[in-house]
């Protein structure tokens, strides 16, 4: 059922759902109109530049949510461990345990990647940078923290894909549980000298 749309911001959530499920190319104005309850004239009133502007509005909304709920606490929180745990919990809720497609990730691998390259890169860079900052505050060195933050974001994005492919949210939930353990600082370096195993 279409949401009541009185202003541009009211349409963003419905637009995000359409782009998640159908991608940029597959999101026809008919599908968008059905999801938002808006006719073509109203859509172009709110988004004069059409689908590209709609996607940019969705990406801006996603960026703001992650900034408020994930990046800022990771960068600035007094308790790094709590901020990292909160990131994993908020991420699991946001992606509905892998049931929800990552719009940014989907755009990153689509033919339209170059059209939104700056926003896509910004999303992932901000996430990796913020998590790295928290890991450094945990007591890890900068290089170790960088590698671990990249691996963590990769694990989350990969878990979304695999969970969707298997139609099994338990895949995503296991990945989040494993990240809780991997991101808990135990004072060891990335390369455990005793075992020679890479601690990620």
Domain boundaries, the chain: 1-48, 58-200
Tokens (6 digits) for 195: 């075992």
Burial 18-44 (b: 16+ CB within 10 A, else e): bbeeebbeebeeeebbebbebeeeebe
* 2 has a pLDDT exceeding 70: no
Determine the Cα angle at 21 with ends 68 and 116, to 5°: 55
Residue 92: which pLDDT band, with cuts at 50, 70 and 90?
A: very high
Residue 96: which pLDDT band, with cuts at 50, 70 and 90?
A: very high
N residues, the chain: 200
Fold (CATH) for 1-48: Arc Repressor Mutant, subunit A (1.10.10)
* 196 has a pLDDT exceeding 60: no
Q: What was the pLDDT predicted at 193?
A: 36
pTM (two decimals)? 0.87
Q: Does the domain spanning 58-200 belong to CATH 1.10.357.10?
A: yes
């Amino acid at each position: 059922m279409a949401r009541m749309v009185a202003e541009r911001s009211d349409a963003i959530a419905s637009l995000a759902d359409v782009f998640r499920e159908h991608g940029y190319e597959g999101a026809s104005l008919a599908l968008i109109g059905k999801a938002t309850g808006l006719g073509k004239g109203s859509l172009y009133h709110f988004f004069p530049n059409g689908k590209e502007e709609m996607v940019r509005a969705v990406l801006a909304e996603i960026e703001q949510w992650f900034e408020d709920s994930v990046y800022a606490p990771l960068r600035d929180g007094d308790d790094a461990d709590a901020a990292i745990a909160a990131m994993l919990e908020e991420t699991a809720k946001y992606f509905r345990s892998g049931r929800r497609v990552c719009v940014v990730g989907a755009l990153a691998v689509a033919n339209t990647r170059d059209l939104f390259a700056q926003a896509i890169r910004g999303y992932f860079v901000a996430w990796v940078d913020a998590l790295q900052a928290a890991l450094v505050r945990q007591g890890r060195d900068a290089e170790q923290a960088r590698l671990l933050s990249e691996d963590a974001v990769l694990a989350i994005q990969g878990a979304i894909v695999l969970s969707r492919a298997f139609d099994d949210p338990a895949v995503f939930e296991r990945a989040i549980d494993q990240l809780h353990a991997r991101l808990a600082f135990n004072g060891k370096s990335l390369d455990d000298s005793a075992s020679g195993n890479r601690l990620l």
